[in-house]
Copies of this chain bind each other. A is one copy, B any other.
Amino acid sequence: MKIYVIGIGLIGGSMALELKELFRDCYVVGVDQSETHLEEALALGIIDEKGSLETLGEADRVILSIPVKESLRLLPTLLDQLNDEALLWDVGSTKEQLCKGVENHSKRDQYLAAHPIAGTEFSGPKAAHLGLFKGKPQILCEAKKTRADLLIWSKTTFRQMGMYLRFMEPKEHDRHMACVSHLSHVSSFMLGKTVLEQEADEQNIFDLAGSGFESTVRLAKSSPDMWAPIFEQNKENVLEILSAYIKNLEDFKNKLAADAIDDLHQQMKHTNQLKTILNGIKHNN
């Protein structure tokens, strides 16, 4: 089985490692704009060969894991090149525009829109590792538009990687992600920016980071190349949730200014229920 991985980063690289683990006959061809990433991926045994998109027709499986703006641009022409038995997954963080862009493509049924909810603030092939997806959700969008045999293979394979499956429409997916993921990234980037502006002394940032800053700012280490296009593609949803967030912050500010400490206490107490939600929910696969 010949697998092309387009974009050998954390997600693409980890997917390659999982597929090599699952399928003995798996031969991975890596395609990436960065020669450094390709060399690293070769050295780490993540890919078997550096390749190019020109020979994509020989691929049995294709994983598209590049910034979402590029995916949107490339996806139709990549599908054009697929042979009739091939399957392409993308693993990007936005889905509405991407699915819309290929809705009338003759090979739409050889494409599966997937979003593994796994990742760290690290990127590049060195960050890739086996086990990244274990116990994590894999979100599939418009799964019914994928050809039955290719969908079954995909579902089985994701489950073998230890993932559990969730099904969403692209619109719904993007709205949920704006809320639960994209807002967190905006919040973290702007928190980092604010502290850098207000704290001239870097030693203070370092010494005091353990008092909360370190965890809220973790996502501000993320790659702008990956995130700028996500915000762009999910603009309407991000603007909406960001407005709601700013409104809550303004409300907190006004209550604090008015010494309405009991109100703030109540809000915090209410928000504490996240503890239960994040610890306790069981899911059915």
Contact = CB atoms under 8 A, between A and B. Distances in A.
A164 B272 CA distance: 32
Contact of A224 (B203, B217, B272): B272
Contact of A179 (B187, B195, B227): B195
Given A176-B208, A209-B278, A228-B264, A196 B271 contact: yes
Interface in A246-279: 246, 248-250, 252-253, 256-257, 259, 261-262, 264-275, 277-278
Contacts of A189: 252, 267-268, 271
A199 to B, nearest CB: 5
A191 interface: yes
Given A216-B216, A245-B191, A257-B239, A208 B181 contact: yes
Contacts of A192: 271, 274
Contact of A283 (B117, B203, B275): B203
Interface string A159-199: 00000001000000000110111111111111111111111
Q: Is the interface of A mostly helix, strand, loop or mixed?
A: helix
Contacts of A222: 268
A180 B213 contact: yes
Given A180-B208, A195-B183, A220 B264 contact: no
Nearest to A194: B245
Given A220-B272, A242-B249, A271-B196, A281 B202 contact: yes
Contact of A117 (B208, B245, B275): B208
B274 A256 contact: no
Contacts of A77: none
Say which size band chain A's interface belongs to.
35 or more
Contacts of A215: 184, 215-216, 218-219
Contact of A241 (B198, B238, B275): B198
A143 to B, nearest CB: 16
Given A265-B228, A271-B192, A249 B186 contact: yes
A204 interface: yes
A256 to B, nearest CB: 6
Interface of A: 93, 117-119, 136-137, 139, 166, 176-177, 179-199, 202-222, 224-225, 227-229, 231-232, 235, 238-239, 241-246, 248-250, 252-253, 256-257, 259, 261-262, 264-275, 277-278, 281, 283
Nearest 3 CB-CB pairs, A to B?
A181-B211, A184-B212, A224-B268
16 contacts: A117-B208, A181-B211, A193-B248, A197-B248, A205-B277, A212-B219, A221-B274, A222-B268, A224-B269, A227-B268, A228-B265, A232-B259, A239-B256, A242-B249, A246-B249, A246-B250
